[in-house]
Structure 1
C-alpha cells in the first residue's frame, strides 16, 4: 500500500535507555544515586558492553546521567533547562518545573498577546478560532486537548508579527506541551474544569478580535494565574 512506512525496530541500546529511564521514573534509581557498572549492566541485560556504552552515551547526552571522575556514573537532577533534549522530558520534576515554566510564560505571553491584539489579521483570527473549535471538540470526546491548547497560544504568537517571539514559543514548544499534558490531564473526568480553560481562551480571543490590547492582557494574566492556582493545589 502506498504511504505505508516500514516499521522500525528499536535498537538494543534504545531499549536499555527506556529501561533505565523507567528505573529513574519509578524511583528504583533515585536522583544522585550511582548506576551499576558497565559489567553489571551488561550481565543484567544480557547484552554486550558496547550496547551498554551506547545507551549510557545517549543518557549522558540528554544530561540524565553524569560521570564523576574516580566515582562512577550517577543519576543527575533533570532541570527545566534540559528540555531541549527529548529524552529528558519524561523525568522532569513536573509540578515544580511547570510552575517555573508558568512564570516564564507569563513574562512572554502578556507582551505577546498585547501585540497580537494590535496586529492580528483575519488569517490569524481564523487560526485562533480553529484552535478553539478543535479544543472544544477534543474536550467533548474526553481528550485533554493538549495540541489544540498549544495551537491557540502559538497562533497568538504568530499574530504578534514578531519573529523573535514566534521563535521563542517554538523553542519552548516541547516543554510547553509536556507541561500542558501534565496540567490538562489533571482535569480529565472534570468537564467543568476543562471547559473553564476553554472559556478563558474564548475570552482572550474576544479581546484580540476587538483590538482591545489591555483587555487581552488582563484575560491572559487571569488565565495563567488560574492555571497556577490549580497547579498549586495538586499533589506532586
Structure 2
C-alpha cells in the first residue's frame, strides 16, 4: 500500500525519490531484499526500464547492493569518502542543485586540466568516440546519456588520481538522475555535443587552461539548462 504510482513516471529521479523515501522511513531496512523489478514496475505503473535505471543509480550510489541471481538489497550505511547522507541529499533535494554544480566545477575542471596534461592518443580517441556516439543517437535518450557518462568518466580517469576518479563516478551517478530531464529542451543535445567537442579539442592539444575553461563553460551551461526546469527553491 505504501508503493503508489508516481507523478512523472518517465523520470527515474521520481522512482529514486520514492525508493529512498521508503528506505528512510524504514519500510525497507539494511539487509532487506526490495521487491523485484517486475513487481516495482507494476506497483509504480512505469516501464521496467525506468525501474532498472533507478535501481542501477542507487546501486552506484551505495544505497542498494545488487546480488547476482538474488536481487537488490538495502545496504548498511557506511563512512565512505562521500557519505550516503551527502549523496542522497544532493540527489533528492532541488535546493542543492546550485551546490552540486559548484562541486562539479571544482572537481571536473581540475580533471580536465590534468587530462590535458596527461593526454594520450587512447584518451583522445575515447573522447572522440563518445562524441561520435552522441551525434549518432540524437533521439535515444539512454544511448546519449551513456555516451555522455563515458566522456566524463574518461576525463576523470585521465586525471590519474583515484580519489578524483571515485568522486567523478559519484558525480556521474547523480547526473544520470537529474540531467536527462533537460533532453526535452530541443537544443540541449546539440549544445552538449558542441561543448564536449571544445573540451576534447583542448585536451587533444594538451592545453590545460583551455580544457579547464571549456569544462567550466560546459558545466555552467548544463547547470543553467537544468535550473530552468527545476522548481524555484529557497537557497540557504
- For Structure 1 versus Structure 2, the TM-score category normalised by the shorter chain is 0.5 to 0.7
The TM-score normalised by the length of structure 1 is 0.60
Q: 2:62 is matched with which residue: 81, 84, 98?
A: 84
**Structure 1, residues 17-74: CA drift from partner, whole Å, max 9, x if none?**
7x16959x6999xx8xxx8xxxxxxxxxxxxxxxxx8x43259999xxxxxxxxxxxx
Distance 2:122 2:96 in 1: 34
**Alpha carbons of structure 1 residues 96 and 137: separation in structure 2 relative to 1, 3 Å:** farther
Distance 1:59 1:146 in 2: 31
User: Residue 137 of structure 1 corresponds to which residue in structure 2?
Assistant: 136
Displacement of 1:234? 1.9
Query: Does the 8 Å CA contact 1:124/1:159 hold for their aligned counterparts?
Result: yes
Q: Does 1:116 find its partner at 2:88? A: no
Q: Does 1:185 align with 2:181?
A: yes
Taking a change above 3 Å as real, the CA distance of residues 175 and 228 of structure 1, as seen in their structure-2 partners, is: closer
Give the C-alpha shift of residue 135 in structure 1.
1.2
Structure 1 counterpart of 2:157: 158
> What is aligned with 2:28?
56
The match for 1:66 is none
Distance 1:61-1:108 versus aligned 2 partners, 3 A rule: farther
Q: Does 1:226 align with 2:221?
A: yes
Indicate conservation of the 8 Å contact 2:116/2:207, yes or no. yes
Contact 2:108–2:168 (8 Å) recurs in 1:
no
Bigger RCO of structures 1 and 2 (CA < 8 A, at least 6 apart): 2
What is the count of residue pairs matched by the alignment? 174
Backbone CA RMSD of aligned residues:
3.9
Alignment partner, residue 197 of structure 1:
192
Scaled by the length of structure 2, the TM-score of the pair is 0.60
In structure 2, stretches of 5+ residues that fail to align are 8-13, 35-60, 65-73, 75-83, 232-236
- Superposition deviation, residue 235 in structure 1: 4.0
